[in-house]
Every structure is written in structure tokens, then in C-alpha cells.
A and B are shown apart, each in its own frame.
Chain A
């Protein structure tokens, strides 16, 4: 993709931008809805995370991929993924520290009441963050093309 004549020539479409601006908050709300309902209905962290990641893809389609990449720093995406892993691991390993099995939520009951529900939702949120950020990262990597180095996505042209 080096010095392709199509790079930088992207012109925003008013129709797509308006629709995305209108729909994006609802999609993000729906993503959280799916994540929080994973415990007792179809859905969960994986599906909700993919929906949340699709919001960023939608913004990239409307405003241009380079603009989306500048808006969403890659460190934010990486922090979301690693923060999700750390949250999941902390909740899971904390029960082992308390003398139980991995993710044996009710051992936290001595500190907080109804902790099983909260812990399940927190784990779903963590999984959702991981899935969303990995989907966003894969999308940005694919959109960058195969022509240049992965470690400098803004380095071309």
C-alpha cells in the first residue's frame, strides 16, 4: 500500500456520519446490556465485547480509518485488553488465595454481600473488554495492510 493513490483521498459521507452518530450510543448501550445479561440469558462478555468493538469499526467506516486510529490511541486498546486479563485473573486467583478453587465466587461473601452476582458481572465486563480491544486491534492491523511494518502504523506515506 506504499503511496497508493487512494490513501488520504477518503471523503466523509454526510449520510454515513449522521447515521453512525445516531446509532453508536445505542449500539454501545446494547453491548453493555448483552454483557450484563450474560449470566441469565443469551449473551455474555464475548458477544457484548464484539458488539462494543463493532462501534469503533463503525466510527472508522464513517470518519476514516486513520482518523479513528488517531482518536483511539493504541495504548488505550492495549490497556483495555491487559486490564481485562488482570481483572479476570485477580478475581479468579483471589479465591485460590482464600483457600478455594479458581473462580469460586462465594468465598468473597464474607467481605461483600451478594458478591456472586457482582463478581460474575465483573468477569463478564473483563471478558468484554478483552474481546472488544482484541477485535479493534485486529481490525486496525488488517486495515493497515500488509505493506509496512506492524510496529509503526502511522509511519507510511
Chain B
């Protein structure tokens, strides 16, 4: 295997790992703020790393440029969307979960 192929495999694996972390976080975390945290940070990183792997794997110029554009805008818009959701949740008066709250209550 060439170094490029190793890089593709590594990027795809790390991206899949962060995607899995984000999925576990969305299911397991207790309230909207912590779930937005999981969905914005690790999901963005997982998606961006996976697209980077795709950009390396597609060896044609135009498709690679498109993948890089997709990567950049994913990096910009995904955290902004999570920020907007968290803002709207705070605007609606949703209290953040704290350690004192009972497990599985909310």
C-alpha cells in the first residue's frame, strides 16, 4: 500500500470513530445542550475526516475540489447550526442538566 492509501484508511477510520462517538453521545447524554455538544464537535470532526478521506480517494481534480468545498462548509455550518439550536433552547428557558439531577429524569 502506498502512503496515500494508508492516509485514506487512517482518515476514514478516525472519522468513523468520531462519528461513532457522536452517535453514542446523542443517545446517551442527558439533555439538549450536552447532545448539541456531542452532535457539533465530534460529529463535525467525523464528517470532515471522512470527507477528507474521500477527497484523497477520488483522484479526479474537479471531484476533489468539490469534496474540499464540502469539507470547508461542513466545518463552518455544522457548529453554527448546533450553536443556533443551543441558543434557541436557552431562549425557550430550558434548564441545563446538572450533576444533582436524577438519572433518566428529563
B73–A26 CB distance below 8 A: yes
Q: Specify the main secondary structure of chain A where it touches its partner.
A: helix
Q: Mark B69-106, 1 if CB is under 8 A from A, else 0.
A: 10001001100100110010001000000000000000
Q: How many residues of chain B are within 8 Å of chain A by beta carbon?
A: 9
In A4-27, which residues have CB < 8 Å from any B CB?
6, 13, 15-16, 19, 22-23, 26
Bound CA–CA A26/B70 (angstroms): 11
Chain B CB within 8 A of A61 CB: yes
Q: Which residues of B contact A15 (CB under 8 A)?
A: 80, 83
Bound CA–CA A26/B80 (angstroms): 16
Q: B77 touches which one: A6, A13, A19 (CB < 8 A)?
A: A19
In A93-109, which residues have CB < 8 Å from any B CB?
none
The 16 listed contacts between A and B (C-beta, < 8 Å) are: A13-B84, A13-B87, A15-B80, A15-B83, A16-B80, A16-B83, A16-B84, A16-B87, A19-B77, A19-B80, A22-B76, A23-B73, A23-B77, A26-B69, A26-B73, A61-B84
A contact set with B: CB distance below 8 Å: 6, 13, 15-16, 19, 22-23, 26, 61
Since A13-B84, A15-B83 are in contact, a sample of 9 more A-B pairs with Cβ atoms closer than 8 Å, ordered by chain A residue number, is A13-B83, A13-B87, A16-B83, A16-B84, A19-B80, A22-B76, A23-B76, A23-B77, A26-B69
